């Protein structure tokens, strides 16, 4: 007895690719018993539309909105107050949410001190959710874990007992942040403090032989929130893309910097994570602006049409299975 099937949804840019939408599609499909968060914290913000209503999840996996059992894994870090606030919010939409959500006993805690420590942080431009300080204390072996928090008692599980002692388990793993924010593979130090790639899933206790699909999610342009210079201030088209695409952070409300899609970086992310399906969001934005530009070998290349854009992507990303999306839902 073990996990029969695992699908992983990963962000392949800098976060905010629209992973929530892909997750939502899978959650509706009846193919999964569990949804699983394997990295990050309340720094994430996944916007999903449920019957036309916008719901934002932060640390609780989105799949529970569709009745899946949810697990917050040991690769995450968790603040008690933020967890219960989010649970209360989600319970308005899903009344039995607290019966569905579980926390792995060995998930580390973001303390109020960790959050205070970050209140004036601006060098990286973090979400100020205490994420870095919490992982720091975890690795310094002075952190607190979920099993030590009284109010978490009814929610605590052991991933081994939950996933390996039962039959017919299929897990939908919901990535947070993205490859370019990965602590090892991102643009250090302008990164988050967790492992955002496919390897992180296995470290959370999910058997690698159960992984049947790794689904990458990107936008047809790129956005980034944080302190590094990312957007060319002399290219007004980038502001137009940001405005039309409503590029504001779901967690902090900050304006996201915009750039064209970097095909070499996406190609690398696809190959290093064994991605077998690529979802490309927000095609409607570039279509409306009729702006088909990519970055290839560090140069901006202007393409003549949407058709050429798709051809160039297929060729340079080295993946055949690509799905394009043209609307927010
Ligand atoms: P932290 O994760 O709060 O430490 O922030 C580190 C960097 O990652 C900052 O540039 C954040 O803006 C960025 N970041 C963290 N979580 C997300 C996310 O869910 N979407 C987009 N950017 C994020
Ligand atoms: Mg987000």
Ligand 1 probe mutation, 59, 191, 226, 255, most atoms within 8 A of CB: 226
pLDDT at 131: 98
Atom of ligand 1 nearest to the CA of 126: 5
Q: Rounded to the nearest whole angstrom, what is the distance from the C-alpha of residue 252 to the centroid of ligand 1?
A: 10
Atom of ligand 1 nearest to the CA of 176: 19
pTM above 0.95, yes or no: yes
Ligand 1 probe mutation, 61, 62, 127, most atoms within 8 A of CB: 127
Ligand 1 binding site (Cβ under 6 Å of any ligand atom): 15-16, 43-45, 124-127, 129, 131-132, 176-177, 181, 190, 192-193, 225-226
pLDDT at 147: 98
pLDDT at 54: 81
Ligand 1 probe mutation, 16, 131, 177, 231, most atoms within 8 A of CB: 177
pLDDT at 103: 98
Helix ranges, 166-247 (H): 198-203, 236-244
Closest to 177 (Cα-Cα) out of 195, 153, 164, 199: 195
pLDDT tens across the length of the chain (329 residues): 889 999 999 999 999 999 988 999 999 999 999 999 999 999 998 877 777 778 889 999 999 999 999 999 999 999 999 999 999 999 988 999 999 999 999 999 999 999 999 999 999 999 999 999 999 999 999 999 999 999 999 999 999 999 999 989 999 999 999 999 999 999 999 999 999 999 999 999 999 999 999 999 999 999 999 999 999 999 999 999 999 999 998 777 889 999 999 999 999 999 999 999 999 999 999 999 999 999 999 999 999 999 999 999 999 999 999 999 998 76
Q: Rounded to the nearest whole angstrom, what is the distance from the C-alpha of residue 169 to the centroid of ligand 1?
A: 31
In the chain, the largest separation of any two C-alpha atoms, in whole Å, equals 60
Nearest alpha carbon, ligand 1 atom 9? 126
Q: How far, in Å, are 8, 45, 136, 201 from residue 175 at the CA level?
A: 7, 11, 21, 9
Q: Rounded to the nearest whole angstrom, what is the distance from the C-alpha of residue 18 to the centroid of ligand 2?
A: 7
pLDDT at 56: 85
Q: Which residues are catalytic?
A: 16, 46
Please enumerate in sequence order all residues whose Cβ is within 8 A of that of 151, keeping only pairs 6 or more positions apart, or say none: 80, 84
Q: Rounded to the nearest whole angstrom, what is the distance from the C-alpha of residue 309 to the centroid of ligand 2?
A: 25
Phi, psi of 259 (to 5 degrees): -150, 175
């Amino acid at each position: 007895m073990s996990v029969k099937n695992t699908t992983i949804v990963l962000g392949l840019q800098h976060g905010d690719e629209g992973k929530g939408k892909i997750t939502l599609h899978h959650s509706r499909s009846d193919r999964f018993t569990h949804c699983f968060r394997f990295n990050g914290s309340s720094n994430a913000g996944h916007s999903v539309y449920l019957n036309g209503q916008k719901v934002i999840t932060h640390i609780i996996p989105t799949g529970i909105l569709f009745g899946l059992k949810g697990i917050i894994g040991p690769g995450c870090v968790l603040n008690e107050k933020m967890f219960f606030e989010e649970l209360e919010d989600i319970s308005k939409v899903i009344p039995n949410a607290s019966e569905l959500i579980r926390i792995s006993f060995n998930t580390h805690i973001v303390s109020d001190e960790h959050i205070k420590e970050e209140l004036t942080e601006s060098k990286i431009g973090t979400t100020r959710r205490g994420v870095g300080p919490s992982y720091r204390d975890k690795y310094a072996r002075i952190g607190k874990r979920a099993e030590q928090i009284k109010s978490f008692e009814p929610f605590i599980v052991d991933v081994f007992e939950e996933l390996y002692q039962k039959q017919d388990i299929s897990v939908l793993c919901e990535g947070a942040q993205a490859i370019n924010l990965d602590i090892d593979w991102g643009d250090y130090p302008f990164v988050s403090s967790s492992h955002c790639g496919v390897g992180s899933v296995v470290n959370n206790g999910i058997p690698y032989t159960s992984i049947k699909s790794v689904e990458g999610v990107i936008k047809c342009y790129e956005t980034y929130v944080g302190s590094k210079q990312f957007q060319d201030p002399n290219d007004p088209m980038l502001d137009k893309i940001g405005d039309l695409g409503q590029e504001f952070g779901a967690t902090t409300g900050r304006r996201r910097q915009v750039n064209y899609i970097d095909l070499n970086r996406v190609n690398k992310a696809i190959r290093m994570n064994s991605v077998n399906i690529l979802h490309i969001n927000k095609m409607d934005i570039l279509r409306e602006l009729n702006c088909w530009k990519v970055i290839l070998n560090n140069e901006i290349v202007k393409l003549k049409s949407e058709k050429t854009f798709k051809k160039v992507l297929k060729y340079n990303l080295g993946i055949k299975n690509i799905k394009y999306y043209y609307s927010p839902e």
